[in-house]
Structure 1
Amino acid sequence: MALHVALIEPQIPPNTGNIARLCAATETSLHLIEPLGFSLDHAELRRAGIDYWDHVDLWVHPTWRHFREAIARERCYYFSAHGSRPLWDARIPDGSCLVFGNETGGMPARIVEKHPERVFRIPMTGAVRSLNLATAVGIALYDVLKGLGYSEAAAIPLSHRHPARARS
């Protein structure tokens, strides 16, 4: 699988660290679009990603324009609490980039307005405005992986499986 996750101007180091760990666990590239609300050597960022940073395919883009030069527009799918389509309707192909706004501002309105057919929301009750960024990325990423046929058997080499769970 060759998926990408992009965070637009993330602000909270532990969220980004947890997302980095998620990306390491799924071999998903992580793109951070500056400005960041922290430095990449921030202790809480490093702690949340624990010792998996060497396994993260990390890209840092100085601007949205630089990111768009690296990832083709047709490969991007956006996630926002204001999306008109539920995640369950998404048919996202391998090689795509899942793009998320930051913790306080969410997805910029200009993106939601420009690409409404590519903006999805994670369904939730009306009692909650939004989900934590790391939680939202985890839900969306694993739903897309499931749709692509990703399985534990394909993800974990036999040598690393628990003997009671290994399958032949």
Structure 2
Amino acid sequence: MKYDLRIALFQPDIPGNTGTILRMAACLGIAVDVIEPAGFDMSDRALKRAGMDYLEQAALTRHQSWRRFLEWRHSQDRRLILATTKAEQSYRRFAFLPGDVLLFGRESSGVPDQVHKEADERLVVPMVEGRRSLNLAVSAALIAGEAIRQLELI
């Protein structure tokens, strides 16, 4: 199966979120890239509980470092779209393209400035004023859902 859309997780630190995203991705035909180091062992019970039996069906690629991920991305000529609370452009007003990689940062700290600089685009999930952030898996589902809708992947 060719995956026209990917979700990348930058050094995730909550196994339940990663498991939920892997389960969603397996069900929707989205590949997932985990950029290590993760803040947990990839055999973690919470990861397995959230991902259930879908983990084995997920198209997962693990990258040993940010540098290795960038090498892979450039070799694939894929656009990198960063989800961040620091962006101004709404994901709802963005034109997704086949091959896009949707990048999500660590639950505890997002991504460092160097990662922000590497992104081709930065998107935000608009929220009610005074709210800080959504759960990472929820944000990934919202943005991936919009990309799937636009690209008519399912």
Same fold (TM over 0.5): yes
Give the drift of 1:40: 1.0
Q: CA deviation at 1:74?
A: 4.7
Please state if 1:97 is matched with 2:130: no
Residue 88 (structure 2) pairs with residue 84 (structure 1):
yes
TM-score (norm 1): 0.84
Q: Which runs of 5+ in 1 are unaligned?
A: 156-168
Paired positions, count: 150
SS in 2 for 1:126: coil
Q: What is the one-letter code of the residue matched to 1:124?
A: M
The residue correspondences of 1:14-163 to structure 2 (distance < 5 A) are 14-72=16-74, 74-113=78-117, 115=119, 118-150=121-153, 155=154
When residues 74 and 24 of structure 1 are mapped into structure 2, their CA distance, relative to the original with a 3 A threshold, is closer
How far residue 132 of structure 1 moved from its aligned partner, in angstroms, is: 0.6
Q: Deviations over 1:103-132 (max 9, x none)?
A: 0111323333454x6000011011311111
**Greater Rg over alpha carbons, structure:** 1
Distance 1:114 1:67 in 2: 11
Find the aligned partners of 1:113 and 1:12 in 2 and give their Cα distance. Answer: 24
1:12-48 CA distances to partner (integer Å, 9 max, x unpaired)?
0100000000110111111001110111111110110
Superposed CA RMSD in Å reads: 1.5
- In the superposition, the TM-score normalised over structure 2's length comes to 0.91
Higher relative contact order (CA 8 A, sep 6+): 2
* CA–CA distance in structure 2, aligned partners of residues 60 and 148 of structure 1: 25
Cα pair 1:29 1:56 within 8 Å, conserved: yes
Tell me the distance in 2 between the aligned counterparts of 1:85 and 1:60: 29
**C-alpha distance in structure 1 between counterparts of 2:88 and 2:115, whole Å:** 13
Letter of the structure 1 residue corresponding to residue 33 of structure 2: H
User: Does the 8 Å contact 1:83/1:112 carry over to 2?
Assistant: no
Q: List, as ranges, runs of 4+ consecutive aligned residues in structure 1 with deviation greater than 4 Å.
A: none
Q: Residue 40 of structure 1 aligns to which amino acid in structure 2?
A: M
What are structure 2's unaligned runs of at least 5 residues?
none
1:108 partner letter: P
Instruction: Give yes or no for contact 2:78–2:101 (8 Å, CA) kept in 1.
Output: no
Tell me whether 1:13 sits opposite 2:15 in the alignment.
yes
Identical counterparts, % of pairs: 31
Structure 1 CA distance for aligned equivalents of residues 68 and 49 of structure 2 = 28
Q: SS state of the match for residue 85, structure 1? A: coil
